[in-house]
């Protein structure tokens, strides 16, 4: 079973877009000064733009379950430590994080589903390519990979 995650709109995205659209529409329709009406048009435009572009949630294509994504970046010297941590989740040393960007650890987590999926990527010029399989763990085990 190969998991594939696609980007979708989360509840937070929908709330942000709705609030911006409502605030912009309110400023445009109320009899206020020209400056506030112009600001309302910009807020309305920003809300429309975010409705089209903003997608911060992830969904498993096969099951339809929704997840949040956490990315962490590491130097190449951490490869073996990270691979061992993915097999049986262990707390990753935060001191080594952000000391390079040759490795990226993607962790998809959902407390409501009780699952955590994680995969390690390696930077090959111009893109990240998977260098490990996707590991599935329970949320309690995988929470160690999310903590900072």
Q: How far apart are CA 97 and CA 105, in angstroms?
A: 10
pLDDT score of 95: 59
Percentage helix, strand, coil for the chain under 3-state DSSP, each rounded to 5: 40, 30, 30
The band of 35, judged by pLDDT with boundaries at 50, 70 and 90, is: very high
Domain ranges of the chain: 5-58, 65-146
> Who has greater pLDDT, 13 or 81?
13
> Is pLDDT above 70 for 130?
yes
Q: How far apart are CA 20 and CA 89, in angstroms?
A: 40
Q: Model-level pTM?
A: 0.78
Which of 13, 61, 109 has the alpha carbon at shortest distance from 119?
109
**pLDDT tens digit sequence for 57-115:** 999 888 888 998 888 888 888 888 888 888 876 666 655 666 677 889 898 988 888 88
> How far out from the chain centre does Cα 113 lie?
17
pLDDT score of 1: 41
pLDDT score of 3: 62
pLDDT score of 82: 84
Average pLDDT over residues 8-33: 93
| Inter-CA distances, 103 with 18, 117, 120, Å | 37, 17, 7
């Amino acid at each position: 079973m190969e998991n594939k995650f696609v980007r979708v709109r989360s509840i937070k995205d929908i709330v942000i877009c709705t609030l911006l659209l409502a605030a912009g529409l309110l400023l445009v329709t109320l009899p206020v000064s020209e400056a506030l009406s112009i600001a309302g048009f910009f807020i309305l435009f920003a809300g429309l733009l975010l409705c089209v572009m903003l997608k911060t949630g992830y969904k498993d294509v096969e099951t339809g379950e929704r997840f949040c994504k956490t990315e962490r970046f590491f130097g190449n010297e951490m490869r073996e430590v990270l691979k061992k941590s993915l097999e049986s989740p262990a707390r990753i040393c935060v001191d080594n994080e952000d000391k390079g960007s040759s490795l990226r650890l993607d962790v998809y987590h959902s407390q409501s589903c009780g699952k955590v999926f994680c995969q390690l990527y390696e930077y090959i010029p111009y893109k990240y390519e998977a260098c490990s399989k996707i590991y599935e763990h329970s949320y309690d085990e995988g929470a160690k990979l999310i903590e900072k």
